[in-house]
Structure 1
Amino acid sequence: MSDAKHSNPIEIEITEPSSLNEQAAVALVIVGALVAVADRQVSPVERDEVVRFIRDRKLAPHISDDRLYAMFDELAERLEEPDFANVVIENLRPVSDLPLSAHLMELSERVAAADEDVHPHEVQAIKLLRLLTLVLPRAKQVTPGAVRAEHRIAAEE
């Protein structure tokens, strides 16, 4: 759908290959948001935990706290839509080759515990994230030579 409610400016913003750090930040935020919305009660402490986790580990020093909070709010809202699984996959796939799995899983567990009440749906969200980090298709590496070869093959056809 192309209406404003379903458009995601974060996705548009991170389509450039040079924005891999932004993609990693979005992946971390989406994981925290997924766990936070799982129990249908997004707590401010869960949101704060996502930003604190990213800051403490210096995983996105170039992104302001305000920007991280805005990402969280936007993605948490988007995860309440019926196609939430696609949103998660679309935002994790670009960083599937990065060594983020341990951070993603630790963050998901910290967010679940942040409000001192680990809901069964949060546990399910964490299990889903574990599966996704294991089976998500790896991002395809694109090299300049591969692009030229693709163009040459397409021209020959």
Structure 2
Amino acid sequence: MSEAKTSHPIEITEPFSLNEQAAVALVIVGALVAVADRRVSPVERDEVIRFIRDRRLAPHVSDERLCAMFDELAERLEEPDFANVVIDTLRPVSNLPLSSHLMELSERVAAADEDVHPHEVQAIKLLRLLTLVLPRAKPVVPSVAGAELQAALKE
């Protein structure tokens, strides 16, 4: 397994964009619940996209990109290090008020195929715990701006 695949499960086209990171966080929550019962249904992916669209949570991301994210993350979550993938994806947005959206989305995906599997319930419980205990993201200052900021602070 390559290092890049382990550290960054999906390419974030705007790494410093919280909107992009929030979109990936929402998709990974839906994908985690969808793969929990070992059979990802197209209706579950559709529910993720519908949820994001209905709430206008990622208007800058196309439906095609959301579908591609979902498919890639669902595949990635079948790997043994899936928990690290989830944590690494949720950590950058842990300061955003997304918890209620994440939990509602997870529940809707579980119910989307009209069969809530016990493993989906476990995935939802895991997500609930993660949203409560995940370390808060630290502000990241881009390197050029960071150097300028450091210089300004020294003056």
TM above 0.5:
yes
Aligned with 2:10: secondary structure?
helix
State the SS of the aligned residue for 1:140: coil
SS of equivalent residue, structure 2 residue 21: helix
Find 2:134's aligned residue among 133, 136, 156. Answer: 136
Picking from 77, 80, 83, the partner of 1:82 is 80
Q: How many residues align structurally?
A: 149
Selected match of 1:27 from 16, 25, 28: 25
CA RMSD of aligned residues (A): 2.4
Write out aligned runs for 1:41-120 (5 A).
41-120=39-118
User: What is the deviation of 1:141?
Assistant: 1.9
Deviations 1:8-63 (A, max 9, x none): 4624535x22x210100000000000000000010010000000000000000011
- 1:147: how far off? 3.9
Cα pair distance change 1:4/1:20, threshold 3 Å:
closer
Identity across the alignment (%)? 83
CA distance in 1, matches of 2:27, 2:109: 11
- TM-score scaled by length of structure 1: 0.86
1:137/1:42 CA distance change after superposition, 3 Å = same
Alpha-carbon contact 2:7-2:85 (below 8 Å) kept: no
The TM-score normalised by the length of structure 2 is 0.87
Instruction: List gaps (5 residues or longer) in structure 1.
Output: 153-157
> What is the CA–CA distance in structure 1 between the aligned matches of 2:141 and 2:6, rounded to whole Å?
32
Q: State whether structure 2 residue 10 is matched by structure 1 residue 10.
A: yes
Instruction: Find the aligned partners of 2:56 and 2:19 in 1 and give their Cα distance.
Output: 11
Could you tell me which residue of structure 2 aligns to residue 40 of structure 1?
38
Contact 2:12 2:21 in 1 (8 A): no
Specify every segment of 5 or more residues in structure 2 that has no aligned partner in the other structure, as ranges.
none
1:85–1:149 CA distance, 2 compared to 1 (3 A)? same
The change in CA–CA distance for 1:129 and 1:9 in structure 2 (over 3 A counts) is closer
**Greater CA drift, 34-43 or 3-12:** 3-12
CA gap 1:2/1:55 in 2 versus in 1, 3 angstroms: same
